Amino acid sequence: MSEQETVAVPAEEQKIEDVQNGTAEEKEVKENGSGDAEPVAEVEKEAPKEMRAVVLTGFGGLKSVKILKKPEPAVNEGEVLIRVKACGLNFQDLMVRQGAIDSPPKCPFILGFECAGEIEQLGEGVEDFAIGDQVVALPEYRAWSELVAVPAKYVYKLPKNVSHLDAVTITMNYTVAHILLFEMAGLTKGKSILVHSVGGGVGQAIVQLAKTVPDVTIFGVCSKGKHDALRAAGSPVDHLLERGGDYVGEVRKLSPEGVDVVLDCLCGEECNKGYNLLKPMGKYVLYGSSNVVTGETKSFFSAARSWWQVDKVSPLKLFDENRTLCGFNLRHLMYQQHGEGYVKQTVQSVFKLFQEGKIKPLLDSTWALEDVVEAMQKMHDRKNVGKIILDPSMEPKPKPATPAKGKNKEDKKKQSSEEKKEPEEKKDDEKKEEKKEENLTNGDSPGESDSKKDNSS
C-alpha cells in the first residue's frame, strides 16, 4: 500500500475515490454477478479533476506532511482561482505543523500561506483582476497546491519585471519587515537596530529595508555557521553576533548605551534581554516566538517556559523609562482584524522598492512539492540563509534506493554476532583498538607496532 493510501481520507475525498474506483460493495456485486437489485444501466460519471497538494494529516512531526491528490477547488464569490507556480516556506509553517499556533484549522488541511501564479478563473463579483493576470497571494492556508481559490482581497498583481519566484521571496518577508521597521519601530536616520534570526527570510528583508535609511547600524544575531555565507552574499549587517553567545555583552561593548530598536522573533528570555538593551526612547517589537520550537514536535514545556520567562512590564515602568513595547502579527491583522487594505498598500511599496533595485531578495533554495519535508527539515536545522521556496513544476530529488532484503539480513546477522560477543572478548577488542590508536598517535603504523612487539619479546 502506498504512503498516500495509508492516510485517513476525509469524507469529501473518499467520495471522489469511490466515484473513480467503485465502492467495495459495488465491486463485489459486479464480480459475483449476484445481488437482489435489478441491473441498472451504468451512468458514466465524469471523474472530478484532481491536483497535488501538501496536506497536513495531523499535528506533529514531519511524517504528518503528505503530498496527496485533492479535488480541484471551486471558486466562490469574491475569489480568484490561481494556478500556482511558486510557494514560500515560512517559519510559521513549522509552527502550524506542530500545532503551536493559535486557532489552527482541523486536520487534514492544505498547508501554506504564500504562493504566486496565474489567475485561471474569476469568482462572481471580482472586478480588479482578469484571467491571465500574474499574481502573488497570501491566503489563510491552502497555498501549497497546484491550484488555490483565494479571496481577491489577499491577492496582489505582479508588476511586469517581478517573476513568480521573486514574488514569493519578497512578499511575506518584506511586507512584514516593512511594517516592523517603518510602522512599528518608526526607523529614522542614524538609529541602531538589533535583529534576531538575521540570516533568515524576514531577517534579511529587515536588513535590506533598514539600509534604505541613511546611517542605520545593524546588530544581527544568528547561528555562527551562517556568518561566512552572509558576508559572502554581501549582506550589509554591521555587526554579526552569534546565537547562543553573549550577544548582549557584545552589543554593550560596541554601543555601551544600547540600541534604539529591538526586533524580536524569538520571545522567551530574549524579551527581557531585548527590553533591557533599549536606549531611552527605544522601541522593542515582538513579532514571533521561534524559541517555542525546540524539536520536531510541539513541546508544552517550551511554550510554558517561554511564557514564564517574559517579564510583565507595567505602563508606569514604560512611562518612567521612556521606552515603547509593541507587537505585530500579520496573520491576525489580515484574517481577523480587517487589515488587508493596509497590507495591500505595503505590498505595493515593497514591489516599488524591488523595481527600483533597492532590495534584492536572498534566496536559499528551491524544492519540489514532494521534497517539502526536506525543505522544512533544513529550516528546523537552522541551515537556511534567506528564503526557501517550493516549485510545483520541479521534479523531486531521486530518493536513495531501499537496501536489498538479503543485504539487510546480512547486516542484522553482523550486528547480532557483535551483540553476542562475550564481554571479555569485547574488552579485548577495545584494548586492541586503544593500542592501535596509541601507536598511531605516536606516529607508528599498526604494522610497525606489531613488528616492534615481536622484536622486544
Ligand X SMILES: NC(=O)c1ccc[n+]([C@@H]2O[C@H](COP(=O)([O-])OP(=O)(O)OC[C@H]3O[C@@H](n4cnc5c(N)ncnc54)[C@H](OP(=O)(O)O)[C@@H]3O)[C@@H](O)[C@H]2O)c1
Positions touching ligand X (CB under 6 A) are 90-92, 172-173, 176, 197, 199-203, 222-223, 226, 243, 265-266, 287-288, 290, 293, 328-330, 379-380, 382, 384
Residue type (1 letter), 16: I
Q: List, edge to edge, every strand of the sheet that includes 65-71.
A: 65-71, 50-56, 109-110
Q: How far is the CB of 359 from ligand X (least distance, A)?
A: 15
- For residue 83, the SS3 value is strand
Say if residue 74 is exposed, middle or buried (CB neighbours under 10 Å; 0-12, 13-18, 19+).
Answer: exposed
List the Cα angle 348/351/354 in 5-degree steps: 155
Residue among 110 and 389 whose Cβ is closer to ligand X: 389
CB closer to ligand X out of 146 and 264: 264
**b/e code 216-249 from CB counts within 10 Å (16+ = b):** bbbbbbbbeebbebbeeeebebebbbebeeebbe
Shortest gap between Cβ of 8 and ligand X (angstroms)? 28
Q: Tell how strand 363-368 and strand 324-327 pair up.
A: unpaired
Distance of closest approach, residue 321 Cβ to ligand X, in angstroms: 25
Residue in the shown chain whose Cβ atom is closest to ligand X: 200
Cβ of residue 400: shortest distance to ligand X, in angstroms?
Answer: 25
Measured from the CB atom, the residue of 170 and 379 that comes closer to ligand X is: 379
Judged by beta carbon, residue 152 or residue 303, the one nearer ligand X is 303
User: What minimum distance in Å lies between the beta carbon of 39 and ligand X?
Assistant: 59
Task: For the CB of residue 210, give the shortest distance to ligand X in the complex, in Å.
Answer: 15
Nearer to ligand X, 226 or 323 (CB): 226
Least distance to ligand X, CB of residue 192, Å? 20
Report the nearest approach of ligand X to the CB of residue 86 (Å): 15
Half-sphere exposure of 23 (CA within 13 A, CB side): 4
Q: Given the complex with ligand X, which of 70 and 298 has the nearer CB atom?
A: 298
Nearest CA among 321, 286, 278 for reference residue 306: 286
Q: Which is nearer to ligand X, 90 or 134 (CB)?
A: 90
Residue 394's identity, in one-letter code, is M
Q: Which of 65, 58, 141 is nearest to 371 (CA)?
A: 65
Cβ-based nearer residue to ligand X, 344 or 382 = 382
* Grid coordinates belonging to 285: 517589537
Question: Which of 121, 377 has the CB closer to ligand X?
Answer: 377
> Which residues neighbour 425 within 8 Å (Cβ) at sequence distance 6 or greater?
none
Q: What is the number of residues in the chain?
A: 457
Helices (H), 111-213: 164-178, 201-210
Question: At closest approach, how far in Å is the CB of 133 from ligand X?
Answer: 25
Q: Residue 191's Cα: distance from chain center in Å?
A: 30
